[in-house]
Structure 1
């Protein structure tokens, strides 16, 4: 696609095009005027002189002619001129450029010759002046166009800079201006204020809800641990108590992650986190989802991999990707590969239709045709939010053998 011109370039180009049109029209009119003057005035003068010459009685002394005009009659006319038809001619006579009028009257032929060397020189000077004036007009238009464009664009550039710096609604320039820039600035100010209020309400809501949930979850977690300790001699009940403890711990972890997402990422310094243990822990948590399925769950882990991220956020991303693979794979294998800067989760499940792939990271979108009561469809949308929050990237691919492959890319952890 051909790139569009910037507003500054468009204004400058408009000035130049306008100068070309106006200066070109003026030069064309001037050139045509010079040609008409040359033809009409000189020819009229030659005709007047010819009338004067014809009215003079034959045989008498020739009338006096102006310095640049010569009168010729009959045999005095050179042979090459006598062969020309009656009328006006422009030709070279020796080394001189002349304009010739031939006229027949009675039995005589009359010729009026005017030298036009000086006139042609004047005409060339006029044409050169027109050309110089045309070029100068274009250059002047270009300079004026650039200067005017800078002045006209300056308020827009200042407004764009303020918006880019996330300036407050009252800090935007040109708010009091009554022109179009003022209207645009006030519209930006209103929109910025509305967005700030919305973000503030969302952050407060998320923070408040997460904070209020932490206390009951802590109580549930403590109670589950006490219950597990008391049921050490009852394996069946102990498994239930352990499951309650694990779910409470996971929920508390998710609440902590939501609290982190409610904060501005640039205000946080994420710690250096080893991802190996998080991957292994999340794979262990997903094992119950594969009970009774002929699925091989493998991990390719060659070295210690770390990233600058909070463990809670990394657990949300990795856990959701692994659970998604386990839930949608009925047979075959699920392979997890963790290397420096990348996590790959690949399965041999049924894959995803194209219409689902295009909206997979939206809220309430399932990867299959399950009814709405079987999951809220928020998992991958939360993953996408965390990935964007951490400035990571997540790609969905389709292996040649079928199934689904998620590729999570992240910058390696700094050792500072």
Structure 2
């Protein structure tokens, strides 16, 4: 799956590139604006103020003065109506399409006004600002294109490595293994870690398979001996019941060992067949009756007819049997309720429930509720979760409001 999130590394790199370009373009645009305004203040306002003082001095001393082109000097009543309302100081005004800088002074009971037609300068200033604005947007557009292109090139090795890891490629086939940079270091670390995990999983499967194989031989002998005892003790009902119990327990153990052997295999190689969950659950209920003993606990089974799923009988029996045995073991009185539909299986009890501090890690190995009087090995639910994953089932836990536990196994569509 390709990274399309807004927080993807490629988007972040492109975003950082564009943000940097925006800051730089904004800085240079602002600097250009300030430079033009300072030039205007220095070249026009300052010089116009200086020239005004000079001409007023010449006027008061009755000397002749000469005005530069585009400038006009007014005294008292000669001042145009538009300029008369202006206070003392330097002003920028616009009359029609003509723009003026006007300096107004009051000196020796006279009012003076010096105007300068700055239309050409203002047009030039506007042209400069337009060029700066166009350059800003052009630079931003270019930065977006460069940012997207550069980020794609930069992130390409990381994307290729992520896709190879997601495809579960062989460690030796990961890209960038020989690259002498950070991507190469990451690729080599991935390859090393993947190789270690593969060896660990292979060792675990070999161990599980070897143990299961070695246990099956003595269990077969026990089963054979139990069958022989049944024949020999046919006329002794009490001893016959003991022999039958030995045979049944050995058969169950052999079935569990067979399931462990299946768990050591890859889910793709398991195969399976259509299995009647109704009959399987009824068998597991019969087995769990022995756990209840004299406890005032009733097992209630509600089904929607005969429900069939595609699975291995051994694995389904391990998952359902573990859940049902837990419910019977932890319930001192009340009801263990089983509800089976074509979509899911629900097993609910009114026992002490599961402590909140272990719910998040409920399906991890060796997780147990210490305050519970029935402390097991912490492997039962972990095995159920592993079986569910092998069968493509989904297992969930809920805490009913009235206490107890509720486990839900959801089956994939056949």
Deviating more after overlay: 342-351 vs 309-318: 342-351
Whole-Å separation in 1 of the counterparts to 2:187 and 2:392: 30
- Deviation at 1:406? 2.2
Whole-Å separation in 1 of the counterparts to 2:104 and 2:146: 54
Whole-Å separation in 2 of the counterparts to 1:78 and 1:366: 98
| Corresponding residue to 2:237 among 231, 235, 252 | 235
RMSD between aligned residues = 3.0
**Residue number in structure 1 paired with 2:177:** 175
Q: Does 1:246 pair with 2:248?
A: yes
Whole-Å separation in 2 of the counterparts to 1:160 and 1:208: 35
Deviating more after overlay: 353-362 vs 201-210: 353-362
**Residue number in structure 2 paired with 1:403:** 404
Instruction: Please tell me whether the aligned partners of residues 58 and 65 of structure 2 are also in contact (alpha carbons under 8 angstroms).
Output: no
SS in 2 for 1:282: helix
Deviation by residue 1:45-80 (Cα, 9 ceiling, x = unmatched): 4335874796699888764x5443345577765476
Which residues of structure 1 form unaligned runs of 5+? none
| Corresponding residue to 1:220 among 205, 222, 245 | 222
Q: Does 1:281 pair with 2:291?
A: no
**Residue number in structure 1 paired with 2:338:** 336
1:11-410 to 2 correspondences below 5 Å = 11-46=13-48, 47-48=50-51, 51=54, 63=66, 65-70=67-72, 78=80, 81=83, 87-92=89-94, 96-101=98-103, 112-366=114-368, 369-370=372-373, 375-410=376-411
Change (3 A) 1:330 1:103: closer
Deviation by residue 1:359-388 (Cα, 9 ceiling, x = unmatched): 44333445663476xx53432221122112
Deviating more after overlay: 337-346 vs 355-364: 355-364
Change (3 A) 1:227 1:403: same
Whole-Å separation in 2 of the counterparts to 1:61 and 1:319: 118
Deviation by residue 1:60-115 (Cα, 9 ceiling, x = unmatched): 8764x544334557776547657766654433467632223456888987754321
Deviation by residue 1:237-294 (Cα, 9 ceiling, x = unmatched): 2112111111111111111111110011123322221112211111111122222222
Whole-Å separation in 2 of the counterparts to 1:194 and 1:56: 99
- Deviation at 1:352? 3.3
Change (3 A) 1:94 1:278: closer
Instruction: Please tell me whether the aligned partners of residues 302 and 338 of structure 2 are also in contact (alpha carbons under 8 angstroms).
Output: yes
Whole-Å separation in 2 of the counterparts to 1:34 and 1:362: 70
Instruction: Please tell me whether the aligned partners of residues 349 and 406 of structure 2 are also in contact (alpha carbons under 8 angstroms).
Output: yes
Change (3 A) 1:304 1:70: same
SS in 1 for 2:99: strand
Whole-Å separation in 2 of the counterparts to 1:169 and 1:331: 55
Q: What is the number of residues matched between the two proteins?
A: 408
Deviating more after overlay: 9-18 vs 109-118: 109-118
Scaled by the length of structure 1, the TM-score of the pair is 0.87
- Deviation at 1:339? 1.8
Instruction: Please tell me whether the aligned partners of residues 58 and 64 of structure 2 are also in contact (alpha carbons under 8 angstroms).
Output: no
Which residues of structure 2 form unaligned runs of 5+? none
- Deviation at 1:199? 0.5
SS in 1 for 2:153: helix
Change (3 A) 1:369 1:71: closer
Whole-Å separation in 1 of the counterparts to 2:211 and 2:295: 38
